[in-house]
Amino acid sequence: MEIQSKWRCPDCGEVHDDYGDAAECCAPSPREVFICPVCKSDFISEEIAIGCCNADLLPEDFVPEPTTAELEAEGQMWLEL
């Protein structure tokens, strides 16, 4: 199971996929965080993220349930069509 790396703004707390976006939001120093592939929580180290929901014990083809925010975003995209 692969752990994603993202960037958290220390001021507003928002998590960004891209360092550039994070730097615009929270210059001068966004913090790198690692996302648990199961619960989508973020952690300061990859090891903690892997251990969060025992992600290292999951099969390679595991697909986590979408979060409420992901479902909402998908619904909004359909409304725009």
Query: How confident is the model over 14-61, as pLDDT tens digits?
Result: 888 888 888 887 767 888 999 988 888 889 998 888 888 887 766 676
User: What are the contacts of 55-58 at 24+ separation with CB within 8 A?
Assistant: 55/1, 55/3, 56/1, 58/1
- Could you give the number of structural domains in the chain? 1
Full domain range(s) for residue 46 = 4-80
Q: Tell me, what's the pLDDT at 80?
A: 65
**Could you give the CA distance from residue 26 to residue 48 in angstroms, rounded to a whole number?**
24
Helix (H, G, I), strand (E, B) or coil at 61: coil
Task: Indicate the pTM of the whole model.
Answer: 0.64
